[in-house]
Amino acid sequence: MQHSIFIVLDGIDGSGTSTHSKLLAGFLSLKGLKIYLTQEPSNSDIGNLLRTYLKNDKIPASTDALLFAADRVLHFNNDIKNKLEEGYTVISDRYLESSIAYQSSQSEEISVEWVKTLNKFAGKPDLTIILDIDPKLSLTRKHHKVLDKFEDTSLLEKVRQVYLDRAKNEEYIVINTDDIIEIVQANIQEVVIEKLDQCGIQIKN
């Protein structure tokens, strides 16, 4: 029997990964679980560098792929793994599927296989949920005026397709997020409760 699980919410910009990660963390805390909520890019020096690179379209896509992988391997091995061992249920707002979808969509030279290889030292989540939305709608949810380099409808169409293809191959649950927040969150909670149950992790009623 497992005592903690590693959950990831992933999806295109504006799909609601941050909002729903926070809401899920709150819900699971109320259900009596110890929760560690985290995100990628992480808070490491590499993560901070990546955040500045999100504003810079001169960075080669391969550099992005390498740095996101370096950040992830560090994040998993020095942070997430320890929290899981301490019995925390870990929720990460974005993880490996972000690199697969975004970096492989940035350049034809970047294959899904290469991104997977770069990330082979980052542990696998127990549950990945893909939040899906039409990019035309998702970008209208962005309140800041200066968009990051990936916040572009035609790029996000490609990124979305990679997420959906990966979801099919890896049997990830896809949840559509153009419904109201409460309904989307209830759908996410249902999937997570089922997974916790399968893993023998009990929660309060």
Contacting residues toward ligand TMP, per CB under 6 A:
13, 40-41, 54, 68, 94, 98-99, 102-103, 148, 150
**Of 58 and 204, CB closest to ligand TMP:** 58
Residue of minimal Cβ distance to ligand TMP = 102
Here the tokens at position 83 are 């929290």
Q: What is the 3-state secondary structure (H, E, C) of 113-174?
A: HHHHHHCCCCCCCCEEEEEECCHHHHHHHCCCCCCCCCCCHHHHHHHHHHHHHHHHHHCCEE
CB of 110 to ligand TMP, least distance (A): 11
41 upstream amide cis, omega within 30 of 0: yes
Which CB atom, from 148 or from 157, has the smaller least distance to ligand TMP?
148
Query: CB-wise, 27 or 68, nearer to ligand TMP?
Result: 68
Taking the complex as a whole, the smallest distance from the CB of residue 153 to ligand TMP amounts, in Å, to: 13
Judge whether 41 and 167 are in contact, CB under 8 Å: no
Q: Which is nearer to ligand TMP, 69 or 201 (CB)?
A: 69
Q: How far is the CB of 132 from ligand TMP (least distance, A)?
A: 15
Can you tell me the distance from the alpha carbon of 55 to that of 57, in angstroms, rounded to the nearest whole number? 7
**Tokens, residue 85:** 């061992």
Q: Are 164 and 157 in contact (CB under 8 A)?
A: no
Residue 197: CB minimum distance to ligand TMP, A: 29
Tell the smallest beta-carbon distance from residue 29 to ligand TMP (Å).
Answer: 22
Nearer to ligand TMP, 36 or 53 (CB): 53
Cα–Cα distance measured from residue 134 to residue 176, given in angstroms and rounded to the nearest whole number: 9
